[in-house]
Structure 1
């Protein structure tokens, strides 16, 4: 999805992502929910790819990474303050966008790197 990021003062191309919304929600449930909310797609085939720490020098935030396959089209369910555009790329195109610094979001780059062996 492409969305404007105020902290970076620019629109950024990113994988769908979000926060665990309540204490009982696990990372896989969050991944399913955020995929549908942000993209309108759902999947019964979401593969865990591990996790990364965002900035272990000063915080313990952990981001869980997933690869969703066999997508089924539905409808986006964005929050009132969310504005996102869906964009579609081949794995080769994503690699080029990363190389050209057109994708600079760390979680997206990490997720793509972890998913590469399943994409090529």
Structure 2
């Protein structure tokens, strides 16, 4: 059975967010990477990009499909995981750790209220 860390928030579209102050680290869930299969390429956003909640922030490509990474928040991209350019498979091996995709500074912290906890997310699978 897959684990879903309880300190994270989730979207039904399979993104997770770790919120620290007004910055959130975002990645895709273990379920999402499992469904995609072996990740071969991650198209990252650019630092400084301003995104609206629900916008496609990144694309994760596998041998089977391309998955869109939808930002759970409105805000500005403050960091991207450049290691994924050379080692996209880290999303598979460490989806909640080294496989994070981007960090975003929240313009509207109340947007976190609409996210699911681990149990709620498991209920959507």
TM-score range, shorter chain: under 0.3
Scaled by the length of structure 1, what TM-score is found? 0.28
Give the structure with the larger strand fraction.
2
Max radius of gyration: which structure?
1
Give the structure with the larger helix fraction.
1
Scaled by the length of structure 2, what TM-score is found? 0.27
